[in-house]
Amino acid sequence: MWFFNSPQIVFGEGALTHLAQIRGARAYIIADPQMTTFGFVERVRAQLAEANIETRVFDQVEAEPSLATVRHGAALLREFEPDWIVGLGGGSPIDAAKAMWALYERPDLAPDGISPLEYLGLGKKARLITISTTSGTGAEVTWGIVLTDPNEKRKLGVGSRETLATLAIVDPQFVMQMPPRLTADTGLDALTHAIEGYAANWHNDFADGLCLKAVDLVFNFLPRAYANGDDAEAREKMHNAAAIAGLGFINSMCTLAHAMGHALGGAFHVPHGRCVSLFLPYTMEFAANAGNYRYADLARFIGLVAPDEARATRNLIAAVRDLETQLGSNTSIASLGIARADFAAALETLCDHAENDTQIVAAPRQPDRAELRRLFECAFAGQPVTF
Amino acid sequence: MAVKFGSPEWVQALQEQLNTSQAYADAAKNWEGDFYFIVDPEGALTAPIYLYMDLWHGKCRAAFVAPDKSAKAPAFVMSGTYSKWKKVVSAQLDPLQALMTNQLKLKGNMTMVMKNVKAAQEIVKACTRIETEFEM
């Protein structure tokens, strides 16, 4: 028994104009400062104004939103009493909007207590619209929320199937100006979602096809979008790929690369997509070394020919590494500029946080503590995983 | 020798498994909170079984079958039917998936649970190491 959850998705050029057709009285737009600077907030407000919806804006969500920001935003929502909440941005503002919505409806909840294990009763005061302005996190179509506890230097994976948007806008107009580094980081995040969602122990027939398609789109169009930001087709395909990968993994599960990436990102403030994609080939090797060859399906789907599953899997791992190199992405922890001494000092905490990250539960191969430590060591030094 | 699921011998065996598991000790080193694992009536089982476990910083300090629900007031209560527990204990059903699909129900501090998923996995692994006899 399992579920498949998805918002209504409006995608393609001009998708934003759908906002002018929604019905409601008040909308609170949750964003980060860049969304105002780039004029994206005004574009959204203009559409909502056509629908005669009064708007307010909170555009102070930081990267890696904190528990305090979520509490503050929820208090603002309670003052204005919106019937729509609009999460506008990359993963951080959208995840913050989800958490603020939950606390707006349930003031008794703590942000880190938003759990998929109990009924929250959301949707009585407001509904959620998500508008993605990066092509990676898939946050616009997922119910997962990543928050940061600055005291513990830890990322927290929370969320409930109820923290899912009613409407997701996937309009490529917002990603045409993304700089190459952000294009690469977010695109590799989408790739990690798709590969992990496919390989996870919780994989299922409904999510598999989405993951396959997303992997294919990323390999075909991410290099183009990175090399030429004006390539409109590549931009649109990558924007779709991110949402498709998001649907794929949220209805299956992400796994070990995300658990390790969350731990590293929380400790050293490395962008999410760069973190998780850095660990992806290492964790694929770790799984493959124990005979997990589900990756071979993905390899075949993108045209990597091999005589058997083991070699197909190795081909896919090599293709991931090649893509990361082609995109100038970090392939080791050391290459992020993290000193050996700082890494060593943090290693046990990294292991603590990774092994208690919710994303680890569906890993195709579960590392024990010693293996997890060795995986971090391999990723630090850029050495292949041979165990 | 196989022990009957839900019996005093079974819960004692689980306590022993947890207290001799380094993996559980590591994973649950920050855990503080006792549990009722309740097996709800189903089929031939006509009354609930209350398995009490006092889990504290990587050790199981006490484990027994409580005579009734009022015997203890634990911080966490996880409940499900016999057949669902059977699937979880024999590793056919992931406990987190069981909770997310309401096949098992949990009451308690969700924040703490979500920060300690590895400990929950190690408990299930310990269950699978017990030679268990199921009555249905």
Q: What is the ipTM of this complex?
A: 0.89
Which residue's entry shows tokens 């899912």?
A164
Chain A contact present for B116, CB below 8 A: yes
Is pLDDT above 90 for B135?
no
Task: Supply the pLDDT for residue A173.
Answer: 97
Q: With a CB-CB cutoff of 8 Å, which residues 85-104 of chain B face chain A?
A: 94, 96-97, 99-101, 103
How many helical (H) and strand (E) elements, i.e. helices and strands, does chain B have?
A: 6, 7
> What are the backbone angles phi and psi of residue A146, rounded to the nearest 5°?
-110, 120
Task: Supply the pLDDT for residue A76.
Answer: 98
Backbone conformation region of residue A131, classed left if phi is above 0, alpha if psi is from -120 to 50, else beta: beta
Q: With a CB-CB cutoff of 8 Å, which residues 134-173 of chain A face chain B?
A: 156-158, 161
d(CA B121, CA A183): 36
d(CA A202, CA A210): 14
For residue A303, count CB atoms less than 10 angstroms from its CB and return exposed for 0-12, middle for 13-18, buried for 19 or more.
Answer: exposed
- Using a pLDDT cut of 70, give the percent of chain B over it: 100
Flag if B23 and A369 touch (Cβ within 8 Å). Answer: yes
Closest Cβ opposite residue A110 in set B99, B100, B111: B111
Angle formed by the axes of helices A256-268 and A272-288, nearest 10°: 140
Q: Which two tokens stand for residue A179?
A: 């700089």
Q: How confident is chain A (387 residues) per 10-residue block, as mean pLDDT?
A: 96 98 98 98 98 98 95 98 98 98 96 90 97 98 93 86 98 97 98 98 97 98 98 98 98 97 94 96 98 97 97 98 98 98 97 91 94 98 98
Task: Supply the pLDDT for residue B111.
Answer: 81
Task: Supply the pLDDT for residue A154.
Answer: 83
Chain mean position to CA A10 = 19
Flag if B116 and A356 touch (Cβ within 8 Å). Answer: yes
Cβ-contact A284, A194 below 8 angstroms? no
Q: Which two tokens stand for residue A100?
A: 């603020």
With cut-offs at 50, 70 and 90, classify the pLDDT of residue B1: confident
Flag if A1 and B27 touch (Cβ within 8 Å). Answer: no
For residue A290, count CB atoms less than 10 angstroms from its CB and return exposed for 0-12, middle for 13-18, buried for 19 or more.
Answer: exposed
Domains of chain B: 3-126 (3.30.1050.10)
CB contacts < 8 A (A, B): 58
d(CA B93, CA A16): 42
Task: Supply the pLDDT for residue A149.
Answer: 87
Nearest residue of A to residue B95 by CA position? Answer: A361
Parallel, antiparallel or unpaired: strands A154-159 and B32-40:
unpaired
* Nearest residue to A131 (alpha-carbon basis) of A160, A101, A165, A158: A165
Flag if A156 and B26 touch (Cβ within 8 Å). Answer: no
Is pLDDT above 90 for B82?
yes
Q: Got the DSSP string for A131-144?
A: EESSSS--TTT--E
Fold that domain A8-174 belongs to in CATH: Rossmann fold (3.40.50)
Three-class SS of residue A15?
helix
Domain extents for chain A?
A: 8-174, 180-381
Which residue's entry shows tokens 């493959």?
A288
Parallel, antiparallel or unpaired: strands B32-40 and B49-56:
antiparallel
CB atoms within 10 A of CB A308: 9
d(CA A215, CA A225): 15
Flag if A366 and B111 touch (Cβ within 8 Å). Answer: no
Q: Which two tokens stand for residue A367?
A: 């590392």
**Residues A46, A47, A50, CA angle at the centre, nearest 5°?**
90
Please count the residues of chain B: 136
Task: Supply the pLDDT for residue A386.
Answer: 98
In eight-state DSSP terms, residue A61 is P
Q: Which two tokens stand for residue A346?
A: 């943090």
With cut-offs at 50, 70 and 90, classify the pLDDT of residue B136: confident
Contacts of A110 in chain B (CB under 8 A): 111
CB atoms within 10 A of CB A97: 33
CB atoms within 10 A of CB A3: 10
Chain A contact present for B128, CB below 8 A: no
CATH class of the domain comprising A180-381: mainly alpha
Chain A contact present for B57, CB below 8 A: no
Helix residue spans in chain A (DSSP H):
33-37, 40-50, 67-80, 91-105, 180-199, 205-227, 232-250, 256-268, 272-288, 295-301, 309-326, 340-355, 369-381
d(CA B92, CA B79): 17
With cut-offs at 50, 70 and 90, classify the pLDDT of residue B114: confident
* Nearest residue to B81 (alpha-carbon basis) of B133, B124, B41: B41
Q: Which residue has the higher pLDDT, A148 or B53?
A: B53
The structure's pTM equals 0.95
Q: To the nearest whole angstrom, how far is the Cα of A118 from the nearest Cα of chain B?
A: 8
Contacts of A366 in chain B (CB under 8 A): 121
Flag if A156 and B115 touch (Cβ within 8 Å). Answer: yes
